[in-house]
Amino acid sequence: MRFKIDTKEVFHVITIEEKALTAIMAAELEKIIKEKQEQTYLNLILNFQMVEEMDTTCLSALEAMQTLQAANKKSFVVCAMSNELQGKLGIDKDFSSFQITPTESEAWDIVQMEEIERELGLDI
């Protein structure tokens, strides 16, 4: 599986560089994220800009990543997932269990705002 990890001060951006994400690849991604987070636990942004197809079983891996992030009081944002892919996966933008943004820049903004809220002691 091809991917790129860009680490910023308070978050990792993981860009998946594949057109299709299979269940096996999702498990590999989950393992890589866990290993990366063991080094320095940061907020997480997954960039799906290049992904055109995704096995629906990958949603459970994403949910597991989101749960782990929440348990560690860190943000989890999915960005640049096409509307077409969201439709295929049955993800409704208005009622999604994931935070999904159209662009990586917007995902950065969400993470930074949530960091400020945590610093202020607000319950997010």
Beta strands in 1-124 (DSSP E): 3-7, 11-16, 20-21, 43-47, 53-54, 76-79, 99-101
97-107 residue pLDDT tens: 789 999 999 99
The model's pLDDT over 33-42, given as tens digits with 9 standing for 90+, comes to 999 888 889 9
Q: What is the pLDDT of residue 111?
A: 97
Write out pLDDT tens, residues 4-13.
999 999 999 9
Q: Residue ranges of the domains in the chain?
A: 3-119
Residue 84 has pLDDT above 90, yes or no: yes
Assign domain 3-119 to its CATH architecture: 2-Layer Sandwich (3.30)
Determine the pLDDT at residue 94: 62
Is residue 12 within 8 A of residue 32, CB to CB? The reply is: no
The mean of the pLDDT values for the chain is 92
